[in-house]
């Protein structure tokens, strides 16, 4: 073999070796893919997803399924380049920078705790929204769960403090408190009035900028409700707030005569405020794929996600625009009866 041929052979081998090694090197990306679905009027591990005690319930049929997004990667288990490349070639998944899911200045344990609290808040807000829709009264306080290390609230707001108001605005729910803080520019002061034990006091905090530019003080809150009957929601280790709409519809279906689905397999997503407003969520493309794979033919879509959803909707899945819980109920009534308007998503 000539020296030239040997040199080319060795160079090619080196390039191949470097390519193989590089393909298995960790990269700071996360792969998002369709996650499992759960029927909120069905069962998980032979237990009802929604159990109601102390109030009459009614039979249900069909499905009202929440949808999820599964992720692979993160600071503790980074994916390799080959996995990222496969994800970029798969139209049903998304590959996103790691910091969009895991903020670089956040402790993963804090993020996990916050997701758990968000799921609990989501369940309670969904119950509150369903009861508001049925005009059933209840009471609520916003309570401090924890504060983030190094943030303004640390040492000033304490666990179990009950937040009465922010800048004089009554703390009607967690969203109201959060929005009141976000209304400030970083560096401005915000005043919390709290009940601590038997005392009421004002706590002034200087806001700071969060990892995505939003204003925050570093407090994790939870709405503590007193409902007139028991509503228990069992979804295993699913986290985050995006199942709120489907929880509310499942509760309503069980508390009212007739079957809200008309026997159809309905899936959907959206955060839920106690007042009934449906909020936007992330991962809409992956969630629609999960919905279609579960057999759903109708997908309730937050209004603010409609344009994005129209660009990625799977064949055979009908998108129904949902702005409020009441609107979603009316849309399902129209689908079931064949009468009335069914609000549709429109392309952006």
pLDDT band at 21 (very low <50, low <70, confident <90, very high): very low
User: CA–CA separation, 22 vs 80, rounded Å?
Assistant: 8
pLDDT tens-digit map of 102-148: 766 666 666 666 667 777 778 989 999 999 999 999 999 999 999 99
Residue at which a domain ends, from 226, 253, 274: 226
pLDDT tens-digit map of 244-277: 999 999 999 999 999 999 999 999 999 999 999 9
CA nearest to 238, candidates 102, 49, 28: 49
Q: How many domains does the chain have?
A: 2
Residue 287 annotated among the catalytic residues of the structure:
yes
The highest-confidence range among 71-80, 101-110, 164-173, by mean pLDDT, is: 164-173
| One domain, residues 206 and 280 | no
| One domain, residues 217 and 240 | no
Q: Please list the alpha-helical segments (H only) found in 99-164.
A: 108-133
Residue at which a domain ends, from 226, 255, 276: 226
List of residues 6+ apart from 16 with CB closer than 8 A: none
User: CA–CA separation, 150 vs 188, rounded Å?
Assistant: 17
Could you give the angle at the alpha carbon of 54 between the alpha carbons of 333 and 61, nearest 5°?
30
pTM, rounded to two decimals: 0.77
Three-class DSSP category at 189: strand
Residue at which a domain ends, from 226, 252, 273: 226
Set 151, 254, 277, 287: catalytic member: 287
Q: Is 115 among the domain residues? A: no
Set 125, 143, 242, 248: catalytic member: 242
| One domain, residues 99 and 234 | yes
What CATH number has the domain bearing residue 272? 3.30.230
Q: Is 69 among the domain residues? A: yes
Q: Is 308 among the domain residues? A: yes
Angle, helix 244-255 to helix 325-337, in steps of 10 degrees: 60
| One domain, residues 46 and 75 | yes
List of residues 6+ apart from 19 with CB closer than 8 A: none
| One domain, residues 88 and 184 | no
Residue 242 annotated among the catalytic residues of the structure:
yes
* Domain boundaries, position 43: 29-104+229-337
| One domain, residues 265 and 326 | yes
| One domain, residues 99 and 233 | yes
Q: Is 90 among the domain residues? A: yes
pLDDT the model gives residue 83: 77
pLDDT the model gives residue 152: 97
Q: Is 13 among the domain residues? A: no
Provide the pairing of β-strand 298-302 with 318-322.
parallel
């Amino acid at each position: 073999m000539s020296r030239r041929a040997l040199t080319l052979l060795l160079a090619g081998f080196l390039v191949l070796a470097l390519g193989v090694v590089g393909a298995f090197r960790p990269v700071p990306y996360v792969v998002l893919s369709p996650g499992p679905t759960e029927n909120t009027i069905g069962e998980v591990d032979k237990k009802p997803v929604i159990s109601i005690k102390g109030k009459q319930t009614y039979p249900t049929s069909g499905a009202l399924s929440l949808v999820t997004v599964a992720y692979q990667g993160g600071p503790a288990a980074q994916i390799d380049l080959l996995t990222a490349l496969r994800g970029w070639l798969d139209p049903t998944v998304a590959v996103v920078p790691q910091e969009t899911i895991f903020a670089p200045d956040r402790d993963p344990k804090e993020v996990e705790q916050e997701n758990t609290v968000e799921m609990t808040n989501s369940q309670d807000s969904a119950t509150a929204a369903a009861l508001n829709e049925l005009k059933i009264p209840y009471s609520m306080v916003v309570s401090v769960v924890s504060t983030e290390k190094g943030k303004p609230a640390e040492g000033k707001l304490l666990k179990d403090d009950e937040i009465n108001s922010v800048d004089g605005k009554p703390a009607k729910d967690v969203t109201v408190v959060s929005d009141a803080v976000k209304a400030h520019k970083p560096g401005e002061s915000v005043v919390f009035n709290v009940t601590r034990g038997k005392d009421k006091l004002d706590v002034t905090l200087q806001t700071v900028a969060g990892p995505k530019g939003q204003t925050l003080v570093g407090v994790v809150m939870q709405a503590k409700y007193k409902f007139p009957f028991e509503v228990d929601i069992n979804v295993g280790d699913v986290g985050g707030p995006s199942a709120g709409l489907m929880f509310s519809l499942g509760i309503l279906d069980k508390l009212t005569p007739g079957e809200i689905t008309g026997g159809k397999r309905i899936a959907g997503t959206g955060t839920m405020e106690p007042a009934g407003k449906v909020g936007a969520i992330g991962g809409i493309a992956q969630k629609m794929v999960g919905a279609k794979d579960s057999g759903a033919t109708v997908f309730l879509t937050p209004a603010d996600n409609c344009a994005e959803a129209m660009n990625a909707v799977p064949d055979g899945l009908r998108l129904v625009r949902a702005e409020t819980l009441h609107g979603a109920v009316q849309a399902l009534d129209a689908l079931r009866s064949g009468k009335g308007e069914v609000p549709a998503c429109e392309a952006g």
